[in-house]
Amino acid sequence: MLFSTSALLAAVSLIGQVSAHGYVPIVRINGTNVPGWDVTKDGYMNPQPLRIVRATKPDSGFISNPASGDITCSIGNSKLPPGPITATVAAGQTITVVWNTWPIGHYGPIINYMAKCGAPGCSSWKGDSGAPWFKISQETYNGEWPSDKLARGGFTSNVRIPANIEPGDYLLRHEQIALHGASQQGGAQFYPVCIQLTVVGGGSLRPSGLSFPGAYKATDPGILFNPYRGDAANRAYVVPGGPVYAGLT
């Protein structure tokens, strides 16, 4: 029996799809598709390619311990880019984070944080000490979980960079938290993705105050949460990491 190469490739990529929860191979910035981190290819290239999205887990697996070092930027803290790279974005602009896929039923919020990179720049700065992070936006249940909306809507998520933060190099920590197993402690699945950006324009605000690890605890009401108690309980969901930083425009 003969199999065409394309049929074989299709079968192989299907297997890849089944095992993948989701990762971010593309970030759309100012009309350009900038390569993110493709877990099917980038981790196997030698030398490691320069990407604005830090490496995420090879199996696109999740982080289950919010106190682990991986909570900052997935495995990005042990696998930084091999050289300096950022993408330029204007303060106040909206970028689109493009996931490769996302399963319906991996219910949860979508949360965005930023941190101004310390010296010597975003590509070598870990962001895992002190409290450099601040929350810029969050989407929560409003009759539908944001992750399900993303799964039905082309796997994209828009993130607006605040207009009044000071210009410079930042990590954007874009995160989905899947709550389908979160009724039990340790059951929430964290999918943080760190994107290296140079913000131009902007204002003079220099927010901070949150740490990763540190901002989340396994027993936070938004992390130890049963999503099967109905609409009213879901509407009362408290997104972890506190409120959006006050004063952002």
Ligand X SMILES: *[C@@H]1O[C@H](CO)[C@@H](O)[C@H](O)[C@H]1NC(C)=O
Binding to ligand X (CB under 6 A) within 77-96 occurs at 88-90
Query: In which residue are the tokens 């700065």 written?
Result: 125
Q: Which of 13, 17, 30, 249 binds ligand X (CB under 6 A)?
A: 30
Cβ proximity to ligand X: between 91 and 97 the closer is 91
Rounded to whole angstroms, how far apart are CA atoms 72 and 198? 19
Number of residues engaging ligand X in binding (CB under 6 A):
5
Site string for ligand X, 155-174 (x = CB under 6 A): --------------------
Cβ proximity to ligand X: between 104 and 200 the closer is 200
Those residues whose C-beta lies under 8 Å from the C-beta of residue 41, and which sit 6 or more positions away, are none
Rounded to whole angstroms, how far apart are CA atoms 112 and 212? 13
Cβ proximity to ligand X: between 103 and 167 the closer is 167
* Smallest gap from residue 202 Cβ to ligand X (A): 11
Helix (H) / strand (E) containing 18: helix 5-19
Binding to ligand X (CB under 6 A) within 173-212 occurs at 200
Residue 134 pairs with which residues in a beta bridge?
A: 114
Cβ proximity to ligand X: between 69 and 201 the closer is 201
Cα separations (Å) of 93 from 46, 51, 170, 175, 240? 34, 21, 14, 19, 25
Query: Which residues lie near ligand X (CB under 6 A)?
Result: 30, 88-90, 200
